[in-house]
Chains A and B, each alone.
Chain A
Amino acid sequence: MSNPMVAAGFWSQTKGLGPYACFLGPLLLVPLFIQSPYVIDLLILCNIYAVFLASWDLLTGYTGQISFGHSLFIGAGAYTAGVLNFYFKVPPTVTIPLGGLVAALLGLALGIPALRLKGPYLALVTFIASAIPAALTAIFWEYSGGEDGLYGIAPLTQSPLLKYYLSVALLVVCCGAMLAIVKSQFGLILLSIREDETASAASGINTSLFKVVTFTTSGFFAGIAGAFYAHNQLHVGTEELSLSLSILIVLMSVAGGMGTITGPIFAGFLLILLNEWLRFIEEFRLLIYTGAVVLILLFIPKGLLPTAKALFKALLARIRRSPQPEAAGEGARSLNRAASKQ
């Protein structure tokens, strides 16, 4: 009897890494099979968006501090990189970490007043807070490039292949770090704050500290990815600060499954590729795309990835004709987690 138990224990130790390797493997091997620079370029975009989405999920999915202003951090990173590179020719190796740093500071600056705000207030305030830098770029247009933005930003590297692997590295390092955070003790505390803040505070957790730290961390990763994005697009513009980018990030993450980190990453890949694939019906592309998001939110409220997992498990269980308590339990847990009041 003890043997299977040990085996199960061992399996549960390593199984966490299996799926990530399965995802990463194809991602690393893609350039071997796909020669089209266009698809490679799209995948670079997916990798960057994955970090945008995961960093949003870290903040909102795990602490329940709903942010409608994530473009604030992305834009801060992108403009930091853009301005430093455009005016002072600072190389990407320096601008990218600095972009993360500036965004982290902004996260700190926003996180402290945000402590006093809850629920829809916080959402609406982040919504409006993100409009301030956009107004600033318009006023200081001589430096920011105004509506046109700054162009001629240095590329990361001339080789498309190297650029691709750099973006994979960005994805692995940033999302890996975020996954490690949420799987650690820290992540558990965040979840407990999300579920019941009063109880967490009562049990001696400094909830304010954890919330501000999460705000800062989330800003840091979004800023890094934003700076990376600027060097990939060779351009920074007001779109990186726009409300629509914030909303896009919210919708994508929710469609993928909030509070899972992997769900938003999955949705990022799926929706960006879907959006591009729909180009053959150019006129109705965005209509279909937004319609699909509405339907997902309405009929798959838990998000695509958690639901897909649960469905898959149910299917497996049915094939075996015997309910598998462990898998069912896990499926239910992940469903609960996604469904519970964020």
Chain B
Amino acid sequence: MGGLRKFSVMALAAAFLVSLAGSAISAEKVIRWGVAAPLQKEAGIGSKNATIMAAREINAKGGILGHKVEVFFADDEARPEAGIQAVKKLIFQDKVDFISGGWLSGVGLAQADHIFNAKKLWLSVGPATPKLAQMVKSNYDRAKYFFRVGCVNSDYFAYDMAVFAEEFYKKKLGLTKIALMAESSVWAREMATYLKTAFNKKGMQIVYMDVFDPKRTDFSPQFAKIRRSGAQVLFTVQAASPGVPLTKQWAETQLPVHQAGYSLSSQVFNFWDKTGGKCYTEVTQLINGGRAPLSPGTIPFYDNYVKEFDQCPPYTAFGSYDALYLLKYVAEQIKSLDTDKLIKALEKVDYQGVAGRIRFTKDHEEVYGEEGKLPVWIQWQGARKMEVIFPFKYATGKYITPPWIKKK
């Protein structure tokens, strides 16, 4: 009898399994667009908002080739394991035709094999590691589904950072001693290694370099060493770390260096509140879009986004908006939604997106520079006052020196 009773318990569990499976949906022909992103963080919120915006606009004008776009979201929680679950959910449960979104490179790399296995077109907007494009290079047939739409790869971030440092800090302000702090993700480390040689080549010296845990909240050891090193400018490379403790402690201990770098959290308005205004004079690289006339659509998109969401668009928002419109552009060009044909067309595309011109290299990277994507540099000068300071032709404000640094 005991077996029978136990059986009932088990049968209940089995019934639960079966009920879970009954949710597969068969839909009429719509374009199913999946976004796997950290939906609780700035990058993911930006992707979600911009995707909804783009889909709404496209559907209002009759969709893509007459098909409505339906969007699906899955939270990657900024963790590789959750990211894998998220793409599996999009592919198997929501049966999406295309995958977009993404943020951290580690998550993107973990997802890659699962997306390639499913042979879905992957218009990635977040991960900046060059390793994804290297997959296309080394195994084209397997990895050709990947296109980096949302930003140039991190080698170009670093290249651009070195250009900015030379043009701005060295030539304009005469500062050549650099301290470099990168978070410990692999792409940030690689960027730091690259920057070290690039700065030296451009006649600046790295007097201090450190790699830190993104969970770190106390920067007193690093700052003490920077103080002793005589550095004049601190460059940071951080995505997963909140950026807030570093900035606050930089201002509170009045570390005598200018601060600039790549930091995701300082790309959106709420960074001012998060740091209590301590980010005043901090300089940030916006790698994809910004309130500068990068293309005719940039400033209108920026202002619409701010109006609707009361927040400025992070790079993933520009990327996500462009990704969906890029699909529309390409699909209507070739009048087909066939994945292989789309890949061929994307390889040759030249499209004016809201963050600049989109063209791909043969490894499915975005082209950097005047003929492609150009990052802009902004300085925090007040709440919601992010003034463009570089490239000089787009500058909207004058550079302000941190108030505790005495002018010579």
Q: Do A and B share a direct contact in the complex (Cβ within 8 angstroms)? A: yes
Residues of A at the B interface (CB closer than 8 Å) are: 11, 14-15, 17-19, 22-23, 26-27, 30, 33-39, 41-43, 138, 141, 145-149, 151-152, 155, 233-235, 237, 239, 266, 269-270, 273, 276-277, 279, 282-283, 305, 308-309, 312-313, 316, 327, 330
| In the complex, chain B residues 100-147 whose Cβ is within 8 Å of any chain A Cβ | 105-106, 109-110, 112-114, 117
Query: Could you tell me if B13 and A141 are in contact, using CB atoms closer than 8 angstroms?
Result: no
Question: Given that A34-B17, A148-B106 are contacting pairs, would A19 and B6 also be in contact in the complex, using a CB cutoff of 8 Å?
Answer: yes
Write the B182-198 contact mask toward A (1 if CB under 8 angstroms, else 0). Answer: 00111101000000000
The interface residues of chain A, by DSSP majority, are classed as helix
- Chain B residues with Cβ under 8 A from A155's Cβ? 113, 117
- CB-based contact B80/A149 at 8 Å: yes
A233 touches B184 (CB 8 A): no
Question: What chain B residues lie within 8 Å of A239 (beta carbons)?
Answer: 79-81
Identify the closest chain A residue to B83 (Cβ): A235
| Given A41-B92, A149-B110, A316:B186 Cβ within 8 A | no
Stretch in B18-26, B158-166, B366-374, B388-396 touching the partner: B18-26
Known interface pairs A233-B84, A233-B110. Does A147 touch B17 (Cβ–Cβ under 8 Å)? no
Q: A145-B186, A148-B106, A282-B75 are in contact. Are A234 and B10 (CB under 8 A)?
A: no
CB-contact partner of A147 in B11, B20, B74, B106, under 8 A: B106
CB-based contact A39/B20 at 8 Å: yes
Q: Across the two chains, which residue of chain B brings its CB closest to A330?
A: B2
With A19-B7, A149-B106, A151-B113 in contact, do A26 and B17 touch (Cβ < 8 Å)? Answer: yes
Chain B 86-107 interface 0/1 with A at a Cβ cutoff of 8 Å (1 = within): 0011011100000000000110
A19-B6, A22-B11, A277-B20 known; A148 vs B81 contact (CB < 8 Å): no
Q: Which of A146, A282, A309 contacts B6 (CB 8 A)?
A: A309
Most buried by A among B11, B13, B74, B186: B13
Chain B interface residue number, banded: 35 or more
Query: Which of A17, A35, A39 has most B Cβ within 10 Å?
Result: A39
- List, in ascending order, chain A residues with CB within 8 A of B16's CB: 270, 273
Q: Is the interface of B mostly helix, strand, loop or mixed?
A: helix
**In the complex with contacts A145-B186, A239-B80, A273-B20, A26-B10 CB distance below 8 A:** yes
Contacts of B81 on A, CB cut-off 8 Å?
233, 235, 237, 239
A18-B3, A151-B112, A237-B80 given; A146·B185 CB < 8 A: yes
Give A151 Cβ to nearest chain B Cβ, in Å: 4
> Closest residue to A37 on the B side, CB-wise?
B92
Q: List 6 A-B contacts (CB under 8 A).
A: A22-B6, A147-B184, A147-B214, A148-B109, A239-B81, A308-B9
Chain B residues 1 to 47 lying within 8 A of chain A, measured CB to CB, are 1-11, 13-14, 16-18, 20-21, 24, 39-40
Chain A residues near B207 (CB, 8 Å)? none
What A residues does B93 contact at CB under 8 A?
A: 36, 38
Option from B92, B112, B117 in Cβ contact (under 8 Å) with A38:
B92
B residues within 8 A CB of A38? 88-89, 91-93
Residue B240 lies at the interface, judged by CB distance under 8 Å to chain A: yes
Q: State whether the Cβ of B213 lies closer than 8 Å to any Cβ in chain A.
A: yes
C-alpha spacing A26/B8, complex, angstroms: 12
Interface contact A234-B114, CB-CB below 8 Å: yes
